[in-house]
Amino acid sequence: MTEVTDFTSALHLAVKALQFYAADHPRSVEALSNLERSAGKLLARRERVTLVAARGALVVDGTPLGDTASNKLHLKALAQELEARGFGGVVVTQGVTYRELVELVRVFVMRPPQLREAGGAEEIFRRAGVTHVRISAVRYEAITEDEEVVSAQTARRAEQLPASGESLPSLLRRFLLKMGGPSADDAETDMADALAVSLKADELSTEMPERVRTLLREALDGVEPEVQLALLMNIATLPAGQLREALQPAARDVLSGGAATDADALVRLLGGSTLDAEGIEQLRARLAELGISREHLDDVLGVIGWDRLPTDERIAQLLEGMQIFDLPQQKLFLFLRELLEAGRYDDVLRLLETYARGLEHDAFALRQSVAGTFGQVATLIERVPMSPQIEQLLTRGILNHFVKESDPKMQLTVAESVANLVTAYACTGRAEVALRAMTRLEAAISVADRNAVVRHAWDSLGRAFAEPHRAAKFIAQIYGADPEALNKSVLPLIAQLGALVMPALIEALSTEDDRNRRGRLVKAMKAIGRPAHPFLLEALEAPAWYVVRNALLILSEIGEREHVAAIGAQLQHDDARVRRTAARSLSRIGGPEAELLIVGAIGDRDAETENEVLLCLGAMKAQSAVPALCELAKARYAASEIRELVVTTLGQIGSNEAVPVLGEILRPKGLFAREPLPIRLAAARSLAAIATPDARQILRSAVAAESDRGAREALGKIAAS
């Protein structure tokens, strides 16, 4: 199974890479290439592989993977990601391409809500033309003590079910909807028997199997609220026996397990129904038989009733006692947005002031709900008008809680809220406000204990700012700010964020065609300074030549001698445009090491690059280049244009060591044996530029000895200048 664990490990690492970098970033390319190689090995002897999760364990082609120390963490993480997205499984078949694997990784990078908004993984694959990766409908519901994996599909094959071939959720739904009382006809009894066998009722115990709960969830999923209510109520009407004993605790767990998602589901279920008073009473009775308290249902019905109240009455109820904390987080956010859009700022302020008290509560879930809601409301700063008092309350609540929160499980929630707040301020032209917020937090971090939780929250904040959608907004500010705002607040904010936005800046620079916008990106990276260096050096290894070139340009602007070796390595790059840029970058930085590296590039196979190298050596007055240039100046095999530029470069360097060679080039060797006139004139100009006594004497002698009238006049003018 080594190839299986190698593949799952590569998939896990590729997901991590794309969470922080774009797909064409060197680290992502490396991780994705490794994934492609491991997929090739995995599928070398099989046509397809299916990966699914069952109770937190990863199952490959029906076999649970071992929980060894070497693969425990990434196997568990991958299993959790599968379950979080509700995937029955992921099937990879022979012929899978690099591009298809990129789409698979992107699906895992997306959060479950984002995945749903995009139409689900199947729709994403369809739009991208992915044919060798798909989401499997097979669900592995349990692993027996003997490591036997039981799936919905294998169970159907093992037992005698109706010939219709219906899935268990469909079968369960149809059966429950038919049940109208304590008795059932023969067909219904047969169906009940089939369901009981499918659910392996003979193995059921007081501990509710995961399989039953999953089936019930699937039976409830995607049908009208009234149908869902009918299903729930009819469970209590089933004949006494193992089927009812299995479904009742499953329903109790689905509806009253205490998780916010279950409570929200029940609110949506009842809120969308048309039950009259009699129906609600019947529902109370049925749910009571399932073990769900009347108080729990009354609370839910109270929320639904609140939703139908006039706005002022809803506000009054929320402000009374602690009722605002009973409202689901998303519902409260939508109500606050509705009030903001209506311009009811005082009401929003009162509600948020009351809600902010939850940040001091002992209950983790309550603090998390408040912090998350504040972060959601902060995003509205970009979209709807908001009073300064509301913004101040949001800022104070979010930033203070970021510093004070001691529970490590809250790191991501609070970090997301801070990132939303800072991004919103920056995107509304108030980068200076965002900068003050970040400076305040950094100051708090600097005095925190080495092991303080807030330091881990700061790391989470970094990951939040690295999210592509936020990084894109900051880059938009770099492009759109007027020059004063750019220098006064936007660039200092980018410098504060530093390494957090560097991957996005490099990606933007690699694809930006507009010269002015590229210039602003370079200024931003220069403003970041030293924290940007590791990313720029990493970009030198990028496969795309233009990414390497742009990184060289920025490194040359920064001008750090410590980068000379890394820049010099690019003088061997396959693309001549990169080699030319590397030479220019080294000449800007200067120094003996840079000079020697450029000298080593003399004789480049590309004429334009050779010209660039010579120009750089001349501008640097590179004394160490003189011996090599003298040899090239005398080389008759070299192109005349190159020799002329070499001679000119010797004059720019100004070394007396070059005078004998220049004199040899200048002097005729006989009536017909002389250098081309342009090269001789270049030698004369170089001697005049060197201007040592030897150089002037050689130049005067050459003028006096010249037999060609035109050449003598040209040389005379040079000597006299």
pLDDT tens figures, 553-564: 888 877 678 899
CA atoms within 13 A on the CB side of 687: 31
Residues 6 or more apart whose Cβ sits within 8 Å of residue 208: 246, 249, 250, 253
Q: Does residue 164 have a pLDDT over 60?
A: no
pLDDT, average across residues 154-183: 49
pLDDT tens-digit series, residues 502-538: 888 888 887 787 888 888 988 898 888 888 888 889 8
pLDDT, average across residues 605-611: 92
Torsion of CA 76, 80, 82, 83, to 10 degrees: 130
| Rg of the chain (C-alpha set) | 37
Strands 89-93 and 48-54, bridge-based pairing? antiparallel
Where is average pLDDT lowest: 49-58, 114-123, 188-197, 233-242? Answer: 188-197
Cα–Cα distances (Å) from 478 to 345, 424, 469, 546, 548, in that order, read 31, 15, 15, 21, 22
Number of helices (H) and strands (E), helices first, in the chain?
Answer: 40, 7
CB atoms within 10 A of CB 372: 20
Spatial distance between the Cα atoms of 526 and 533, rounded to a whole number of angstroms? 10
Residues 6 or more apart whose Cβ sits within 8 Å of residue 695: 656, 659, 662, 687, 688
pLDDT tens-digit series, residues 660-708: 999 888 887 765 567 888 988 998 898 989 989 988 898 888 888 887 7
Of the candidates 453, 357, 346, 362, the one whose C-alpha atom is nearest the C-alpha of residue 409 is 453
pLDDT category at 544 given cuts 50, 70, 90 is confident
pLDDT category at 258 given cuts 50, 70, 90 is very low
Please name the helix (run of DSSP H) or strand (run of DSSP E) that holds residue 378, with its range, or none.
helix 364-379
pLDDT, average across residues 441-468: 82
Residue 689: exposed, middle, or buried by beta-carbon count in 10 A (0-12, 13-18, 19+)?
A: middle
Tokens 């609600």 belong to residue: 280
CB atoms within 10 A of CB 502: 24
Higher pLDDT, 26 or 202: 26
Instruction: Determine phi and psi for 208, rounding to 5 degrees.
Output: -65, 120
Cα–Cα distances (Å) from 240 to 199, 244, 313, 378, 701, in that order, read 16, 6, 46, 53, 123
Spatial distance between the Cα atoms of 318 and 355, rounded to a whole number of angstroms? 9
pTM of the predicted structure, to 2 decimals: 0.52
Strands 63-64 and 48-54, bridge-based pairing? unpaired
- Output the pLDDT for position 320: 83
Higher pLDDT, 174 or 152: 174
CB atoms within 10 A of CB 562: 9
For the residues of 108-130, what is the DSSP string, one character each?
Answer: HHS-HHHHHHTT-HHHHHHHHT-
631 contacts 602 by C-beta, under 8 angstroms: no
Spatial distance between the Cα atoms of 434 and 492, rounded to a whole number of angstroms? 10
Higher pLDDT, 414 or 162: 414
Q: What is the chain's length?
A: 721
pLDDT, average across residues 262-272: 47
